[in-house]
Amino acid sequence: MCYNASRVLSKQKSLLFSLPFVSFALGLLILVSACGRETNKDKCSRPDGHPVEDVAAQDIASLSSFNSVGAIEFDRENNNTFSQVFGGTSGKHVSKFFSDRIETWAVGNPSDVFVFSANNLKYENWLKPKSSVKSAITEPAMVGSVLAFNLSPLLWIQMLLENHPYIVVYVKGETVSIQSIRDGLMVITENYPQYYQANQCDWKEVPQTERQAILIHEARHSDCTGGISVAELEILRSAENKEDAFTKFQNRRCGHLHVKCEHLPELKGVEACDRHAWGAHAVQSVFLGAAILNTQDQTAKQRLKSTFLEMMSRIDLPDSEKAVPPDMSSSGVYR
C-alpha cells in the first residue's frame, strides 16, 4: 500500500468548521517538561532533523521489516499478547495492522484540517469547542505537544450523527472522504520526535521503533471495538457541547478515546489516559515491549524502556478490565 501525504477523493465542498480540538481526545501528547528543550535552546539547540514527511514515510515503510525475534520473545513472556494484538509476530503483520487502520496521513498542524459535508452539519455542537479554534488548542490543559493524532473516530461518529453517507475533510489542499472509522486519517505534527535530550547538550536520536509505536497508537484509534449503539448516538445528539458529550458518552472502546488523567499529577485533567483494556496506550506498549527486546544498543534500549513505562503509566484500569483479552475488531452501529 502506498502512503501518500494525502489522497484526493473529490466530494462536494462546503466549508463548515475546522476541527483542531479532536487532538484533545486522540492526539498522543508528550510533556514539554519531559524533554525541556525550550530552556536550553540557545546554548545547546536540538540538531536539525530531516523533513518530517521523509521520516514518517520511512517509519511507515519500515513497519514491514519489524524484527519478529522481539515479538516472539514478548509473546513467550506475555501470553501471546503480541500475536493477539497484531495477528502474528512478523513485520508483515505489524504493517497490515497499520494499513488496515490508517488510510491517509499528512504532516501538518491541527489547523490544516477542515471538515466539509454535503449538507449542513446539525450536530457540530457535539464536536465544536465553545471557544475559538485558536484558544481551543492552547488552553491550559494542553500542557504538552501533540505528536500525531487520528481524526477518523470523531469524524466518523459525526457522520453517523448527521446520517450522512460520508464526511469529507480538507487536509493541506487535498480532500479525503471518511466513510468508516477504519478510513483512518492521521496527522503527524512537526513535534514527531527525531532527537531527544539525554543531557544538557547531549542530543541523541530517537529510536525509529519509538516513532513507529506512535503510529501504532494512532492506528488503534481507528477501531470501534464492540460498535456503537443507536442509543449512544441519541445520547450524543442530545449533548450540549463536547464536554457534555464526553461526560455522557461512556463507550471509550469505540475509537479508543482517552479519558482525563486522574492518577498522574503531571497530566491531571488532560485527556491522555485510558481506563479500559487494550486502548491505544496498551497496544503501543505491546509494540514497544517487543521493540525493547529487539534493541541491542543500551542507550536506545533505555530510551524505549522509559517511553514504555510512560505509556503504561497512562493506563489506569479498574479491576473489571484487568483480565479482558485483546479484542482488535471494529464494528459499526447496532440496535
Binding residues for Zn ion, rule: CB under 5 A, are 280
Least distance from Zn ion to the Cβ atom of residue 45, Å: 29
CA dihedral 117, 118, 122, 125 (to 10 degrees): 10
Which 8-state DSSP code applies to residue 332?
Answer: -
Rounded-to-integer distance, Cα 307 and Cα 300, Å: 11
Nearer to Zn ion, 216 or 280 (CB): 280
Phi-psi label, residue 321: left if phi above 0, alpha if psi -120 to 50, beta otherwise: alpha
- Considering the complex, state which of residue 70 and residue 153 has its C-beta at the smaller distance from Zn ion: 153
Nearest approach, Cβ of residue 279 and Zn ion (Å): 8
Looking at residue 52, the DSSP 8-state letter turns out to be H
Quote the least distance from Cβ 73 to Zn ion, whole Å.
27
* Residue with Cβ nearer Zn ion (116 or 149): 149
C-beta closer to Zn ion: residue 94 or 280:
280
Tell which phi-psi region holds residue 87, choosing left (phi > 0), alpha (psi between -120 and 50) or beta.
Answer: left
What is the rounded CA–CA span in Å between residue 23 and residue 147? 10
Residue among 162 and 256 whose Cβ is closer to Zn ion: 256
For the CB of residue 223, give the shortest distance to Zn ion in the complex, in Å.
12
Comparing CA positions, the residue from 71, 115, 112 lying closest to residue 91 is 71
Read off the C-alpha cell for 245.
458529550
Least distance to Zn ion, CB of residue 148, Å: 9
Nearest approach in angstroms of CB 280 to Zn ion is 4
Closest approach of Zn ion to the CB of residue 20, in Å: 15
- When the beta carbons of 280 and 291 are compared against Zn ion, the nearer one is 280
Say if residue 305 is exposed, middle or buried (CB neighbours under 10 Å; 0-12, 13-18, 19+): middle
Residue nearest to Zn ion (CB): 280
Q: How far apart are CA 163 and CA 161, in angstroms?
A: 6
* d(C-alpha 165, C-alpha 179), whole Å: 7
Nearer Cβ to Zn ion, position 51 or 269?
Answer: 269
Give kind and range of the element (H or E) at residue 159. helix 152-162
